[in-house]
Amino acid sequence: MGKKKFIKTVRALIEIEIINDDEYEKSEDFYVELSPPVWLTDYGLGEGGADGRPVLGAHTRCRIDIIEDVEFKGFVDRLVANANVSLMVGTHSWRQQFRDAFTVEDLDDDGQLSGKEKFLHYVSFPWKLIFALIPPTDYFSGWLSFCVSIFAIGVVTAVIGDVASHLGCTIGLKDSITAITLVALGTSLPDTFASKTAALQDKTADASIGNVTGSNAVNVFLGIGIGWAIAAIYHAWNGTVFRVEAGTLASSVTLFLLGSIVCFGVLVWRRYNPNIMAELGGPTKQKHISVAIFLITWFLYVVYSICVAYCILPGF
């Protein structure tokens, strides 16, 4: 509520203080409404004192919209994302999330959209649209967004895993091969992108590698442990024997352990190599060598497991 005095003038400016609400999204709107003017003189004009008094026109209420600079906000978002700091940019409203989902992101920040950027946008658009439904991080200090995100990731992982299983069944793959190829790739894709995001946002490799080890720990201790514990309790309660044939598990686990030793050796080599001195990143040549070793190790593991499963090579 404020007052404006007109003294020997017919025009005046209204100053409105904009209060910083400490929210990331700066788009705001409010209304300015003019009350009937007050006549401060002691005498009236004309008959009844009505003539000459100031009156309002037909429009006495005005809406003020403060629109944020989308280009500058996008520049700040990219600056924060590329600064390798442990800071995640949040959202304030569903409107912003859907707007970001429909907007093609300028990854190179050159003011022009390349064919690669458009292709990536249209490929990822269904996922962007689905995850735009997650509540913004501004609600309940981000806890609502966290819980719904965990549930959504579980749903997406389950869908990808089921689709991979049905695809393997359709093309005639054995269950063991489907598990280490299609299902493993499908369920590991969210972990892959999570590790990439963690590597970009953190100054060290702890978050990225910790995500991998933590994810596998959940798969082993919870995924296998809880299932087998329930089965053991059920069979013990009914007086039956809980027995699962190993099949080619011994060969697969042995080769997996050998591959793990190779991967740990690469990480140790990267840490103590004077040209790298880091588990992630480093010179381009060394990065390509590390990627090639990891991919070849995984490829050999898959090929050997397939050969053992189809009795092309003897297992142990």
What is the structure's pLDDT at 22? 61
The sign of the torsion formed by the CA atoms of 225, 227, 228, 231 equals: positive
Neighbouring-strand partners of residue 63: 31
Residue 265 has pLDDT above 90, yes or no: yes
CA–CA dist 115, 237 (Å, integer): 62
What are the tens digits of pLDDT across the range 288-313? 999 999 999 999 998 988 888 888 88
Q: Where are the domains of the chain?
A: 71-131, 143-234, 245-316
Q: Which of 107, 130, 132, 111 is nearest to 120 (CA)?
A: 107
What is the structure's pLDDT at 26? 63
What are the tens digits of pLDDT across the range 189-230? 777 877 887 777 777 777 777 878 888 888 788 878 888 888
Range picked from 60-64, 176-180, 291-295 for highest mean pLDDT? 291-295
